[in-house]
Structure 1
Amino acid sequence: MDNTYAYGPVVTRDRSHTLFAQTMAYVAGTAGLFALGAYLGRNLTGGPAIIAYIASFAALIGMQFSARRSRELTIGLLAAFGLFIGLAVAPTLAFYASQDPQALWQSGGATALFIAGFGAAGYATRRDLSKLARYAFWALVALIAFSIVLIFVNIPNGALIYAILGLVIFAVLTMVDFQRLRRNTDIQSAPLLAASIFLDILNVFLFFLTIFSGRSDNR
């Protein structure tokens, strides 16, 4: 009797669980390097922070090319991304730590609940969310354009509107990424999935930081 079909779902499920564990381990490692970069770069000025941001973006692009060639290089680039993006965001975090530390803690807690909730929803849903990813991508492009407009045009509550729209978009992207994590069985994709999920977390945190710091300014 051929047991291939009986073992197939079990093997697929085991590979999915392994991918989930590895991806979340990479997310945790990237978060740790981000925290290290944020600490090391707490006294950075705008110029070096911009250079660090460009370096983090270059590391992300490099991961796309190295993913199928060298797992070790891809993991190394993920580590570099975490460190460089931490250096890039460090001046912002240092500012809030000195001016409004409560906003940092509130944003961290809200981000944890947000990612846990929408991540679980995306991981559990059986409906294909890949089509929503395309809409979310173009919505993100529009949001970036809106942020540029805000630099030159004073829109009442513009920052709050920007942050809320950003949270809506990243709620969709978070669900999509966690559904990809459940449906995928390619262990080699773990670093790329980790980078995507970490970006979800970071952006959600920054959006919440805008909201909670705005509340403090209005008191």
Structure 2
Amino acid sequence: MYDATLSRPGYRVPANTLFAQTMTYVAGTAGLFALGSYLGRNLTGFASLIGFVAAFVCLLAMRATTGRSRAGTLALLGAFGLFMGVSVAPTIAYYAAANPQALWQAGGATALFIGALGSAGYATRRDLSGLSRACFWALLVLILFGIVTIFVRIPHSSLIYSIAGLVIFAGFTLIDFQRLRRSQNIESAPFLAASIFLDILNVFLFFLNIFGRRD
């Protein structure tokens, strides 16, 4: 049960309490993501795009509800997970039909990846703010690279994209778990959960692309 004293101004929440609550939210978001993936398994690419836009809107709306409505923020987090599931559903459905083994391999690799990097990020005392900026700009470059490969044929571009993405999200995972240890505000739990969930999802998709390749 949620303790109202945790959200009192100036209350310093114990790190283990914030960790437990954040990871509970991550698990709930992942569950709704799975539901969205199931519900959207027969949808078209356009519906996938709509789901992605809706998920992004939910993230933006969470900023407006934080500190005003805890229930509203959590509802938006749940909707974010559901819509992300809908947006990724065609990809998961494709691999489930064409190469189901890749899904299990990607899932296992993601668990090991996040477990190792998350533990390192949570334990490190080194300030990772510089890494945060580097990862942000690297992600922009990766997105630009992905756009270029739509129009220009680059040998092994898909593999390069996925490996580079894993390197970048290794950094983001370190950063987000360090933020989880350093945060003193229980109200940050939904945002931390959304950020960690996005780390997990992107890592999973990069691994899925690697294991699902047919050379």
TM-score between the two structures when normalised by the length of structure 2: 0.93
Query: Structure 1 vs Structure 2: percent identity of aligned residues?
Result: 65
Offset from partner CA, 1:21-45 (integer Å, 9 cap, x none)? 0000000000000000000111001
Q: In structure 1, what residue type is equivalent to 2:119?
A: A
Instruction: Give the greater-gyration-radius structure (CA).
Output: 1
Give the secondary-structure state (helix, strand or coil) at the position aligned to 1:43: coil
User: Would you tell me which structure has more helix in proportion to its own residues?
Assistant: 1
Is the Cα–Cα contact under 8 Å of residues 124 and 179 in structure 1 kept in the other structure?
Answer: yes
- Counting only pairs closer than 5 Å after superposition, residues 23-102 of structure 1 correspond to structure 2 as 23-102=22-101
- Across the two proteins, how many residue pairs are aligned to each other? 205
Q: Which amino acid aligns with 2:33?
A: F
Within the alignment, does 1:168 sit opposite 2:153 as a pair? no
Aligned-partner SS, 1:54: helix
Alignment partner, residue 110 of structure 1: 109
One-letter code of the match for 1:183?
R
CA contact (8 A) 1:15 1:187 kept: no
**Alignment partner, residue 125 of structure 1:** 124
Deviations 1:109-129 (A, max 9, x none): 000000000000000000011
Q: Which amino acid aligns with 2:72?
A: L
- The residue type equivalent to 2:116 in the other structure is G
Report the secondary structure of 1:126's partner residue: coil
Structure 2's unaligned 5+ residue stretches are 1-10
Q: RMSD of the TM alignment (CA)?
A: 1.1
Distance 2:65 2:133 in 1: 24
Map of 1:4 onto structure 2:
none
Gaps of 5+ in 1: 1-10
Q: What's the offset of the Cα at 1:62?
A: 0.9
Alpha-carbon offset, residue 131 of structure 1:
1.5
Which of structure 1's runs of 4+ aligned residues deviate more than 3 A? none
Amino acid in the other structure paired with 2:39:
L
